[in-house]
Structure 1
Amino acid sequence: MAVNKPVGDNARKGAVKKRSQVKTTLGGATAWTKRNKKSGEFMAVKKVAKKTKAAKKFKGVRREKAASR
């Protein structure tokens, strides 16, 4: 699990190990979906900003490789 000490410095030491994120499409634009690694449940989606076509990634969350076709 990530270590967040000292309290109040707004910095994370290490990655969030129990979650991962995957790139998805949401209404024709690129979005990032956060997923629980243990249960496989989708937890949250980073929505696309109005003026851009791609959403920003979740901070400190590992990225899954896209499935090859």
Structure 2
Amino acid sequence: MPSGSQTQAEVQRLRDQMAQMQVSTAVVREAEVAVREVEAAAREAREAKQSKKYDELQIQLQTMMKMFQQPQNPPS
């Protein structure tokens, strides 16, 4: 049978272990939040890039449409 001081030491060890687990859990949660923020930023960057490419293609299309709408002068 463990003595009172051994029991107290075991209780303290378990408390320390619980405190370490709480810190680890907090670190993991912070890391998960950071990952979600990075993923959101990456998604926004992809969307911005796609939007920019779409805008560029729209401008090219409008330019081409204007070219075809201009009257064609027959060669002389």
TM > 0.5 fold call:
no
Instruction: Determine which structure has more spread, i.e. the larger CA radius of gyration.
Output: 2
More helix by share: 2
TM-score by length of 1: 0.19
Between structures 1 and 2, the one with greater strand share: 1
Larger RCO, structure (CA 8 Å, separation 6 or more): 1
